[in-house]
Homo-oligomer: A and B are copies of this chain.
Amino acid sequence: MDSRPSDPNAGAGAPLDGEFDLIYRYFARGGANGPGAGVILGIGDDAAVLRVPEGADLVAAVDTIVESRHFPERSDPRSIGYRALAVNLSDLAAMGAKPAWATLALTMPRADAEWLGGFSRGLLDLADRHGVALVGGDTTRGPLTISVQLLGFIPRGEALRRGGAKQEDLLAVTGTLGDAGAGLALVQGRTTATTERAAELVRRFEYPTPRVEFGLAARGIASAAMDISDGLTGDLPKLAAASGLAAHVDVGRLPLSPALRASATVEQARDWALAAGDDYELLVAVPRQRFQELAAAAARTSTQLTVIGELRAGSGVTWSSSGRIFTPSAAGFDHFR
């Protein structure tokens, strides 16, 4: 099973023999070398056989990224592989779940050894970092589309849901917002920045940090959580609606990175932070009296945590800036708008 080349570029230019070889050559690894707890049967049969630990529930997420839609054409394949898994890790982080196993549905126009080497390295390096085993997959020919389904565990009854927030809970976000939006704008030539800042922002788009450790640490403290994939203006209304509450955000409190502040006007930075999406930070609600506990959990996991607003009675989301009503100019990213 351990047919992943130690140097993924070693096979560049070599003919690829077909689907069976493809999966084996780039993605199958022996259980001894990597993650694989609970993998009874991995890649190579009609399906994988997996063992969920006693007392745990299974958590399952699926996310797809499509060329030209979620990443520009000719993106670095290592970033594509990384992001395909990262966006799913972010979903599990938002549940407070521990990731364990992934399957990969990879549709691509042709089997290019060099591309596959980079893609598999990006995906598998991140998988290793989070103890995730790739247990199955399917490769098909077609326009570049990657779906990863990620499975993980959570102690029974402890999942962080979107709908658990209570009135007067604080709203907080991890990390900084808007960097990925700026990074994408840079990649697409829609904006410019100094080389050093640009590299930092582009990296935030290409290699978002899924907040897995923070999600685990927030379990039992936060009252609700979700990941911000479609921008705060797109995602916050979902958390508020699921909790049956209104939400209010002070946009002046949105955490902006030094790189973003140095690269854009305040208005542009705020727009990206509100609506650009792709940050994959976590949005959490927490009872006021437990905020210090959550802040300690964030510190323990080296995660920046910023209060941006609160939950209120009612419905919908309101925004303010310097004490005045504020209306975001851009809607959150929506694949069918």
Instruction: List residues of A whose CB falls within 8 A of some B CB.
Output: 16-20, 22, 40-41, 44-52, 57-70, 91-92, 94-95, 97, 101, 103-105, 107, 110-111, 135-143, 145, 147, 149-152, 154, 156, 159, 161-163, 225-227, 238, 242, 334-337
Contacts and interface: CB of A to CB of B under 8 A. Distances in A.
Contacts of A49: 57-59, 95, 154, 159
25 contacts: A18-B334, A22-B336, A40-B159, A41-B161, A44-B242, A45-B242, A46-B92, A46-B225, A47-B91, A47-B92, A49-B159, A50-B59, A51-B58, A60-B101, A62-B103, A64-B138, A64-B147, A66-B141, A70-B140, A105-B149, A141-B336, A142-B145, A143-B143, A145-B145, A151-B151
Contacts of A18: 334-337
A163 B44 CA distance: 10
Contacts of A51: 57-58, 156
Contacts of A95: 45-47, 49
Contacts of A63: 105, 138
B61 A46 contact: yes
A216 to B, nearest CB: 14
Contact of A60 (B44, B47, B59, B142): B47
Contact of A66 (B45, B92, B110, B142): B142
Given A107-B145, A147-B147, 16 more contacts: A18-B334, A18-B337, A45-B226, A46-B162, A46-B226, A50-B58, A60-B151, A61-B136, A66-B107, A66-B141, A66-B142, A70-B140, A138-B147, A139-B336, A141-B336, A142-B143
A107 B147 CA distance: 10
